[in-house]
Structure 1
Amino acid sequence: MRGIQISEYVKGPKELKVTDLPDPTPKPDQYLIEVHATATNFFDILQIQGKYQNQPPFPWVSGAEFSGTVLATPSSATNPKFPIGSRVFGASQGAYATLVCAAEPELLPVPQGWSFLDAAGLFVTAPTSYGALVLRAGIKAGDWVLVHAAAGGVGLAAVQVAKAFGATVVATAGSARKLEVAKQFGADHVLDYRDAGWPDKVKKLTPKGRGVDIVYDPVGLVDKSTKCVAWNGRILVVGFAAGQIEKVAMNKVLLKNISVVGIHWGAYARFEREAIPLVWGGIGKLIAEGKFKGTVFSDKEFVGLESIPDALLALGGRETWGKVVVKIPQPGDSKL
């Protein structure tokens, strides 16, 4: 196969190289998958630099999210869920390659009518946003929801989930293009969070200026968001893309009866596995109803393993929106 192997940590994506490598040998519980598309994530950039919490022993192949076709089923399985030829998507170490191995819990079928390109970016963002809004915040019709970084991967997923549940969405982003994208995916109102007065503007949009019911925050804007959240409001802590873990004045949380709620989707497999099929069932229903679509960044196309460094640089430079996905052409491909 061909892939991006890490034998020592690098300073950044520019140093990544594509090389010929031995085909991977699946473990008894793993599928062998031909990769047709791979999605980029911020943690991929951290991992190649040795800064992520999960650092495999050298050498290892980078990348995590992918979609592709099953070439071989687990040797330990008598009745595998995904027969040879199945179109699947998922996450497993080594996705920046033409072949990857993955266990059954790490895989799902590509939704009907979806391309490999769209499906490659679904495994991380969709359940994070659905789990946050539905499981943790109890979203319901009529809620007002503030989505920060709304044009990002999890942000666009959150906008779509909130709209599907009958909420009114106020979206923030940091450029005119990103605000336009948030609108295209269903946001009712958009605001630039570079404007220091955004909390007051959010509050004025809501009925009688009462504030929003739910704040979805993958950035690190909890403290400022307390200014525009309603009584009994819920603030979802999704991440810290701004680079700092906040210190919040807890008197603000007390005075408005605010719930500050974390969402760590990756930990559900360890602590609450029974929730996983419920979340994916809900996402599948939204997809089938046409209420959730792929969020692939389309302003620029990335094709081939050699384009992964540029894709990661664009992602890291905040130049993109949605999910940055790279096509991996395979022999016999007609379309992705």
Structure 2
Amino acid sequence: MKAMICDAIGEPEDLRLKQVEAPAMRDDQLRIRVHAAALNFPDILTVQGKYQHKPPLPFAPGMECAGEVIAVGPKARGGFRPGDRVMANPGVGCLAEEVCAHPDKVYAIPDNVTFEAAAGFIVTYGTVYHAFVDRGALRPGESLLVLGAAGGVGICAVELGKLMGAQVIAAASSDAKLKLCADYGADHLLNYNAEPIKETVLGLTDEQGADVVFDPVGGDATFQSLRCMNRGGRLLIVGFASGPIPEIPANRLLLRQCQAVGVAFGSYGAQYPDRIRANMAVLTDWWKHGMLKPHVSMTFPLEEAVAAMNALTTRKATGKVVV
């Protein structure tokens, strides 16, 4: 099979498209023919050796994909059959023509959904729903500040936040990106290259501050968000797309009686797979009934996966990038 292979820790430009043996399937796994794979920032970090999960070399990057089941291990549970249309989150290996995955990380795709739309559904929507329900206890009527609001998880946070009844403040780096956030229902738009985060958020919340901050960005944006949180607010730490990992001043949490809450979808799912499957059942039901609209801004063939990764690192993409 063809696969985009990482032979040594380095940069996305070091990846090579190769003809390799299909991965060996365990008795408790499914084999999936990959029709589309979605990229996430952890895919790039994995290639660079900076992600917490470090697969043995050589490997094909790619956390999630969508495709067709072509083989079922004799001990694989879940009732999947060859020919089933599925999306999967095996964590690695998806930038290839075939991948193997445990059924706990595989979900059926609604009939009215394309492989391209399904490829990036699990990690983004799963992360956001887990953040809002399991970690942040987001309630209807609360104010929600979404950083990086036009990115992969960011636009999902805008969409799900509105669906769950929050007043959504979408923060992004350009007016063009904020236009997308408005299309997904954001109540207020904040260009943090043109407006100060603290003063703008306080002005939009009657000087109370945001009840919940969804933060996949890190860096200075995290610190600025801490300065405009309501009493009892929750800072949901999702990632560090900007690069720097912020040091959170504990005095801000103390004075505002706030919480800084880690959101790790992958490790939570490994510990509580039944809870994640219940979350995904809610999400796929909403999706099936037209309540969710995954946004794919760019698609690339497998041989151009490096260009696809660069679209993420240079912030050219909104929503998801699919290979």
C-alpha offsets along residues 257-315 of structure 1, whole Å, 9 cap, x if unaligned? 21222211111134334421232122123323432221211xx442x211211101111
The AA in structure 2 aligned to 1:222 is: T
Aligned equivalent of 1:15: 14
Question: Secondary structure in 2 aligned to 1:100?
Answer: strand
Q: Distance in 1 between matches of 2:234 and 2:46?
A: 32
**Alpha carbons of 1:108 and 1:215: their partners in 2 closer, same or farther (altered >3 Å)?**
same
C-alpha offsets along residues 220-256 of structure 1, whole Å, 9 cap, x if unaligned? 2332112222222221111122212222332222222
Tell me if the contact between 1:40 and 1:312 (Cα under 8 Å) persists in the aligned partners. yes
Which of 79, 82, 104 in structure 2 is aligned with 1:81?
Answer: 79
Aligned equivalent of 1:90: 88
Aligned equivalent of 1:126: 125
Tell me if the contact between 1:69 and 1:86 (Cα under 8 Å) persists in the aligned partners. yes
C-alpha offsets along residues 100-146 of structure 1, whole Å, 9 cap, x if unaligned? 11111111111231110010001111111111111212112111111
Aligned equivalent of 2:227: 227
Q: Distance in 2 between matches of 1:249 and 1:301?
A: 40
Confirm whether residue 144 of structure 1 aligns to residue 143 of structure 2: yes
Q: Distance in 2 between matches of 1:289 and 1:199?
A: 37
Tell me if the contact between 1:164 and 1:286 (Cα under 8 Å) persists in the aligned partners. no
The AA in structure 1 aligned to 2:146 is: V
Task: Summarize the alignment of residues 167-186 of structure 1 with structure 2, pairs less than 5 Å apart.
Answer: 167-186=166-185
Q: Distance in 2 between matches of 1:149 and 1:67?
A: 25
Question: Secondary structure in 2 aligned to 1:112?
Answer: coil
Deviation at 1:180, TM superposition (A): 1.1
Aligned equivalent of 1:59: 58
State percent identity of aligned pairs. Answer: 38
**Alpha carbons of 1:102 and 1:199: their partners in 2 closer, same or farther (altered >3 Å)?**
same
The AA in structure 1 aligned to 2:47 is: I
The AA in structure 1 aligned to 2:8 is: E
Deviation at 1:80, TM superposition (A): 5.0
Confirm whether residue 276 of structure 1 aligns to residue 276 of structure 2: yes
Aligned equivalent of 1:331: none
Which of 208, 214, 217 in structure 1 is aligned with 2:215?
Answer: 217
Q: Distance in 2 between matches of 1:212 and 1:321?
A: 24
Tell me if the contact between 1:235 and 1:260 (Cα under 8 Å) persists in the aligned partners. yes
Question: Secondary structure in 1 aligned to 2:65?
Answer: strand
Q: Distance in 2 between matches of 1:8 and 1:63?
A: 16
Deviation at 1:196, TM superposition (A): 5.3
The AA in structure 1 aligned to 2:122 is: F
TM-score (norm: length of structure 1): 0.90
The AA in structure 1 aligned to 2:171 is: T
Tell me if the contact between 1:73 and 1:80 (Cα under 8 Å) persists in the aligned partners. no
Q: Distance in 2 between matches of 1:63 and 1:321?
A: 18
Deviation at 1:212, TM superposition (A): 1.8
Tell me if the contact between 2:41 and 2:241 (Cα under 8 Å) persists in the aligned partners. no
Question: Secondary structure in 1 aligned to 2:122?
Answer: coil
Deviant stretches of 4+, over 4 Å: none
Deviation at 1:173, TM superposition (A): 0.4
Q: Distance in 1 between matches of 2:126 and 2:310?
A: 25
Q: Distance in 1 between matches of 2:263 and 2:70?
A: 35
Confirm whether residue 315 of structure 1 aligns to residue 275 of structure 2: no
TM-score (norm: length of structure 2): 0.93
**Alpha carbons of 1:58 and 1:137: their partners in 2 closer, same or farther (altered >3 Å)?**
closer
**Alpha carbons of 1:96 and 1:132: their partners in 2 closer, same or farther (altered >3 Å)?**
same
The AA in structure 1 aligned to 2:60 is: V
Tell me if the contact between 1:230 and 1:256 (Cα under 8 Å) persists in the aligned partners. yes
The AA in structure 1 aligned to 2:223 is: D
Cα RMSD for the two superposed structures: 1.8
Aligned equivalent of 1:334: none
The AA in structure 2 aligned to 1:54 is: H
Unaligned residue ranges in structure 2 (runs of 5+): none
Q: Distance in 2 between matches of 1:87 and 1:53?
A: 30
**Alpha carbons of 1:8 and 1:287: their partners in 2 closer, same or farther (altered >3 Å)?**
same
Q: Distance in 2 between matches of 1:107 and 1:146?
A: 31
Unaligned residue ranges in structure 1 (runs of 5+): 327-336
Structure 1 residues 48-57 or 181-190, which shifts more? 48-57
Q: Distance in 2 between matches of 1:157 and 1:296?
A: 11
**Alpha carbons of 1:16 and 1:249: their partners in 2 closer, same or farther (altered >3 Å)?**
closer
Report the number of matched residues: 320
Tell me if the contact between 1:160 and 1:291 (Cα under 8 Å) persists in the aligned partners. no
Q: Distance in 1 between matches of 2:12 and 2:260?
A: 35
C-alpha offsets along residues 82-113 of structure 1, whole Å, 9 cap, x if unaligned? 11100000122211111111111111111231
Question: Secondary structure in 2 aligned to 1:124?
Answer: helix
C-alpha offsets along residues 171-226 of structure 1, whole Å, 9 cap, x if unaligned? 000122211111111111111112352211111112x3322211111112332112
Tell me if the contact between 1:74 and 1:80 (Cα under 8 Å) persists in the aligned partners. no
Q: Distance in 1 between matches of 2:30 and 2:249?
A: 49
Q: Distance in 2 between matches of 1:272 and 1:36?
A: 28
Structure 1 residues 96-105 or 227-236, which shifts more? 227-236
